[in-house]
Amino acid sequence: MRVEAIELHRVGMPLVRPFETSFARETEREVLLVRVRGDDGAGWGECVAGNDPLYSSEYVDGCARVIERYLAPSLLAAHDVGGETVAELLRPIVGHRMAKAALEAAVLDAELREADTSFGEYLGAVADWVDCGVSVGISPDLDTLLDEVAGYLDDGYLRIKLKIKPGWDIAPIAAVRELIGPDMMLQVDANASYTVADIDHLRRLDAFGLLLIEQPFVEEDIATHVLLARAIETPLCLDESIVNAEIALDAIERGAASVINIKPGRVGGYLEAVRLHDICAELEVPVWCGGMLETGVGRAANVALAALPGFTLPGDTSASDRYYAEDLTEPFVLGTGVHAGQLPVPTGPGTGVTVREELVREWATTPVVVLR
């Protein structure tokens, strides 16, 4: 299609409860949505960058700026843009994967709506429902943590992920394991907050029957992950380090990770996420779909991705109400009965959800930017 305009919308979304990690305590997300208008239809994409560059180098203002100054002009200048050519058109601009991913998602959404095809069908989904886990932030104290986890068990989540950091690890993990019993899937995410000096300490996590430990060390430090992987029984999973499919292949071959968290924003888009999935499937490395506190716009596409066959572990694809009192699309609600703890894969064209444009307008934090 020919891209006629690219709109940047910024929306303030208060979280239902503060979300604390080793790197930040967030009470509100400022969501950057991009809308691509083409000669045959329009589509939406969500940029998953955080408010500040604390999880990775990208952040909302930076993404808006790089789209305005570099990425949108490249798409607007191209005669023909398709979901499958966005990454190639934007390749000269180094990095900025979350910004690129949002544009690619919007172009795909526009194209797929026009073709009457869902994201799931297009990406290769093989399931109608996906298993969901929930990512639980660092709490002020153990009682508050246990209350929150108990609520998620009642909701039906199939797996609990605890955020950990030095000083908040053994005690919360032990308490939650005690609460949920030995069989419930439990994993932890350190968001790069440990160092090589913590290897002996981290070996103690083997006592808790964890599914995996996610990203204990900094993004660039594959070597220390290899050391830890050799020292513990618990599988290691990488998140921040995995910025494309080749890096994942390298990390797996070096023995730094035996599980991969796939986040489309972090790797530059849904198509790179599928390549990463395919490589892992070939190597029989289990993958799961990560999350970045997405609204329904990003969640819809994530749930479709999580329905690919290699996604054998529950994702951080939680229901809308885990994050937001009101979502920007129709809400994602966990199923019941045989579908307890699962979300349905949207079946409508494109992402299959409708953006509530009146909410996007009402909750806007800045005027809309229209690039032509």
**Shortest-Cβ-distance residue relative to Mg ion:** 239
191 interacts with ligand OSB by CB under 6 A: yes
Tokens representing 292 are: 């970045």
Among 292, 222, 221, 220, which residue's Cα sits nearest to residue 263? Answer: 292
- 109, 189, 272, 294: residue in contact with Mg ion (rule CB under 5 A): 189
What is the three-class DSSP state of 75? helix
CB 97, CB 45: distance < 8 Å:
no
Between residue 195 and residue 214, which ones bind Mg ion under the rule CB under 5 A?
A: 214
Per DSSP bridges, beta strands 185-189 and 213-214 are parallel
Q: In whole angstroms, what is the distance from residue 235 CA to residue 249 CA?
A: 16
Between residue 227 and residue 266, which ones bind ligand OSB under the rule CB under 6 A?
A: 239
316 interacts with Mg ion by CB under 5 A: no
Query: What residue 298 binds from ligand OSB, Mg ion, none (CB within 5 to 8 A, per partner kind)?
Result: none
| The one catalytic residue among 100, 161, 165, 263 | 263
The minimum distance between CB 239 and ligand OSB, in angstroms, equals 5
Between 107 and 304, CB nearer to ligand OSB = 304
316 interacts with ligand OSB by CB under 6 A: yes
Query: What residue 264 binds from Mg ion, ligand OSB, none (CB within 5 to 8 A, per partner kind)?
Result: none
Between 72 and 192, CB nearer to Mg ion = 192
Q: In whole angstroms, what is the distance from residue 49 CA to residue 31 CA?
A: 8
Percentages helix, strand, coil for the chain (3-state, rounded to 5) are 40, 25, 40
Residue-wise DSSP of 120-188: HHHHT---SEEEBEEEEPPPSSHHHHHHHHHHHHHHT-SEEEEE-BTTBSHHHHHHHHHHH-SSSEEEE
Between 19 and 119, CB nearer to ligand OSB = 19
- 98, 293, 328, 355: residue in contact with ligand OSB (rule CB under 6 A): 293
- 47, 66, 101, 135: residue in contact with ligand OSB (rule CB under 6 A): 135
The minimum distance between CB 41 and ligand OSB, in angstroms, equals 28
- 131, 189, 272, 327: residue in contact with ligand OSB (rule CB under 6 A): 189
Please confirm, yes or no, whether 165 is among the known catalytic residues.
no
Please confirm, yes or no, whether 163 is among the known catalytic residues.
yes
- 20, 239, 272, 327: residue in contact with Mg ion (rule CB under 5 A): 239
| Integer Rg of the chain from CA | 20
The minimum distance between CB 157 and ligand OSB, in angstroms, equals 11
Residue-wise DSSP of 111-123: HHHHHT-BHHHHH
Site size toward ligand OSB, by CB under 6 A: 11
Query: What residue 293 binds from Mg ion, ligand OSB, none (CB within 5 to 8 A, per partner kind)?
Result: ligand OSB
Among 274, 300, 295, 25, which residue's Cα sits nearest to residue 140? Answer: 25
109 interacts with ligand OSB by CB under 6 A: no
Angle at alpha carbon of residue 56, lines to 54 and 62, rounded to 5°: 85
Task: Kindly give, in sequence order, each residue whose CB lies less than 8 Å from that of residue 280, ignoring residues fewer than 6 positions away.
Answer: 248, 252, 260, 262, 286, 287, 310
| The one catalytic residue among 100, 161, 163, 165 | 163
Binding site for ligand OSB (CB under 6 A): 55, 135, 189, 191, 239, 290-293, 316, 318
Binding site for Mg ion (CB under 5 A): 189, 214, 239
